[in-house]
Amino acid sequence: MPWPRPESGDLPAAPAFDVPELGSDDPGGFGWSVLHDRTPALIAQVRDTRPYGPAQRRALDSLLEEITSSTMKPLGSGAHDRDAWDRWGAAYFGRPWGDVPFLWWESYFYRRLLEAVGFFEPGPWFWLDPFDHWKTAELHGPGVDADLAALAATSERQALLSASLWGNQADLGFLFGSTGLPDAPGSGDRLVADESALLWDALEAGRPNHVGVVTDNAGRELLADLLLADHLLETGLAATLTLHLKPRPYYVSDATTADLVACLRRLAAAEGRAADVSRRLSQAIGAGRLRLRAHEFSCAPWSFHRMPADLAEEFRTFSLTVLKGDLNYRRLVGDRAWHPATPFAEVTAYFPGPVAALRTLKSDVVTGISAARLSSLGASGRGWRTEGTHGLIQVRL
């Protein structure tokens, strides 16, 4: 089978930064808890929830052992993308996972998990999404119908933007942490930065706009993203809209094309106007106004500073690229120990075109927070940075 091959190591080099990358070696740090709590719990759940045979179980057990008490190994010799990963990981293989940058090891972990469950091997588990049952349960969970009915009935654009932002709380990775899913946004001010006015002004002034949306999670988040996409296309704020999806299962709940299809079906089956949204979006896909992409770089362990030329060229053609979620934010600004007041525009100046981030905060990195906001947040401890209780809308035109 002619597999799509990730760029074999020929990505542009990242610029030199004087701010260190975030790691996982501090027992009090967020990366450490993902490596030592969330990731082992995820392996155990994957092992328990699918009737995998002895080979997959052994591979999962040995991945768990490797992560917790051994050193990082390369992909198996038959892997179609081994060349790329060998080059990318040359500086990391043979070291404890906790010594490797957080952004890098976590991405590699999902590649190794797919290897362990035989995702790429012709046979019974070929291309079977190991996270599918969680995604499906979420899509049919309580409250989804009511949310869809309310959102499909509104033409209030700020409500749709807000739903797309807070939909990012529905990250199934939280199921494997110690804190569980965050509470829904309360009435308090949970936005640490809100530049939504800038976003709307740019779209109003820029017509005809070609908008890119780099999606994050499937399920409730993607449903909300689709309602927003429909609004942008219907109102002419977007002449075309390109959705970037993941080419394969990643970070538990990240949206693939299969998940997009499931969401369109879910909308079609819902009561009221949601079914119209599904029909319109399917037609827009057929007409080429709503475009789907699944670029290999979307599952690469690097920040966007190292994106390949074809992807940079595509982002350059967009009037605005909207990056959804926490991981895309980490990849946009670089997963580094930025001072939170470092201007967002400064750290994203390299990005090839206007860019917006819609994110609930689920990891340490953050930029562009005003000094006044920082001091009010400081009083509440560090939880606002990692627990998904707070969100941001940041824009660089």
Which spans of this chain sit near ligand F1X (rule: CB under 6 A)? 34, 38, 106, 168, 171, 173, 216-217, 251, 325-327, 330, 362-363
- 233 Cβ neighbours under 8 A, 6+ residues apart: 241, 280, 281, 284, 289, 290
Give the shortest CB-254-to-ligand F1X separation in angstroms: 7
C-alpha to C-alpha distance for 45 and 35, rounded to whole angstroms: 15
Residue nearest to ligand F1X (CB): 362
Cβ-based nearer residue to ligand F1X, 84 or 103: 103
C-alpha to C-alpha distance for 107 and 105, rounded to whole angstroms: 5
Give the shortest CB-110-to-ligand F1X separation in angstroms: 10
Cβ-based nearer residue to ligand F1X, 225 or 326: 326
Give the shortest CB-100-to-ligand F1X separation in angstroms: 15
Cβ-based nearer residue to ligand F1X, 38 or 210: 38
Cβ-based nearer residue to ligand F1X, 233 or 355: 355
Give the shortest CB-364-to-ligand F1X separation in angstroms: 9
Cβ-based nearer residue to ligand F1X, 203 or 364: 364
Give the shortest CB-189-to-ligand F1X separation in angstroms: 20
Q: Is the peptide bond before 208 cis (omega within 30 degrees of 0)?
A: yes
Give the shortest CB-252-to-ligand F1X separation in angstroms: 8
C-alpha to C-alpha distance for 135 and 140, rounded to whole angstroms: 9
What's the distance, CA 367 to chain centroid? Answer: 18
C-alpha to C-alpha distance for 94 and 183, rounded to whole angstroms: 40
Give the shortest CB-111-to-ligand F1X separation in angstroms: 15
Cβ-based nearer residue to ligand F1X, 47 or 359: 359
> Taking the CB of residue 14, how many other CB atoms lie within 10 A of it?
14
Cβ-based nearer residue to ligand F1X, 253 or 278: 253
Give the shortest CB-33-to-ligand F1X separation in angstroms: 9
DSSP labels for 378-397? HTT-SHHHHSS--EEEEEE-
Whole-number Cα distances in Å, 351 to 6, 320, 331: 21, 11, 11
Give the shortest CB-131-to-ligand F1X separation in angstroms: 12
Q: How big, in percent rounded to 5, are the helix, strand and coil portions of the chain?
A: 50, 10, 40
Cβ-based nearer residue to ligand F1X, 125 or 129: 129
Of 290, 155, 153, the closest CA to residue 215 belongs to 290
Cβ-based nearer residue to ligand F1X, 162 or 217: 217
Largest interatomic CA distance in the chain: 59
Give the shortest CB-57-to-ligand F1X separation in angstroms: 23
Instruction: State the DSSP H helix or E strand holding residue 153, giving kind and residue range, or none if neither.
Output: helix 144-153
Burial 279-317 (b: 16+ CB within 10 A, else e): ebbeebeeeebbeebbbbbbbbbbbbbbbbeebbebbee
Cβ-based nearer residue to ligand F1X, 149 or 175: 175
Cβ-based nearer residue to ligand F1X, 55 or 258: 258
Of 273, 274, 255, the closest CA to residue 265 belongs to 274
| Angle between the N-to-C axes of helices 39-49 and 102-116, in degrees from 0 to 180, rounded to the nearest 10 | 10
- 276 Cβ neighbours under 8 A, 6+ residues apart: 152
Give the shortest CB-21-to-ligand F1X separation in angstroms: 14
Instruction: State the DSSP H helix or E strand holding residue 159, giving kind and residue range, or none if neither.
Output: helix 157-166
